[in-house]
Amino acid sequence: MFGRSKRFKQVLQEKWQELYKVAYAWSHDRALSADLVQETITRCLHRPEKFQNEDELKIWLFKVLRNCWRDDLRRRKPQVDINEVELHASNDPESQHHITQVMTHVTKAFQAMTIEHREILSLIVIEGFSYEAAAKILEIPTGTVMSRVSRARKTLRDQLKDIDFPDNVTPTLWRVK
């Protein structure tokens, strides 16, 4: 059985970083993200008999991560310190300042979105899941995923329409199907 194999534990270790990226995109808190991933892996290790192959495991891991995230939201209102978000920029002070401003606007716009829109964009855009896989993770119909992605992208576009991007930068959210 895959759930009791060495490969099972190896896959869990390999998925830690992917889970952490999504958890951080949702919570914007490093410690909470690590806790959510730890709880996800712990739950998975307690139910190894559920898994027949790696594909099932990946989808189930992200389902559990979402449930852990939702449980945490129910317990407390999330707090985000915008100053803790890492911003990446070039060495040129002028472009560094401009990129920092743009990233701050994008981060604020992302944080202002509904939880459903943040979840769906994190899974589709950041993690690269297909619409069908995201639907399984979120336990909603594929059509709902598609409409939420569309609305989330429109919301981001609307919130960021007045930002002055550099001439060589075109803001986009990639489509993954």
Position 89 scores a pLDDT of 47
Looking at domain 91-160, does it have CATH number 1.10.10.10?
A: yes
What value does the mean pLDDT of the chain take?
A: 80
pLDDT at 168 over 70: no
Determine contact, residues 53/2, Cβ cutoff 8 Å: yes
Residue 147: pLDDT band with limits 50, 70, 90? very high
| pLDDT single digits (tens) 44-102 | 888 777 766 777 788 888 999 999 999 988 887 655 555 565 555 456 677 677 777 77
List CB contacts of 166: < 8 A, sequence separation 6 or more.
95, 98
Determine contact, residues 135/142, Cβ cutoff 8 Å: yes
Average pLDDT over residues 27-34: 91
Where along the chain do its domains lie? Answer: 2-75, 91-160
- Under CATH, to which class is 2-75 assigned? mainly alpha
Where do runs of H (alpha helix) occur along 28-92?
30-46, 54-75
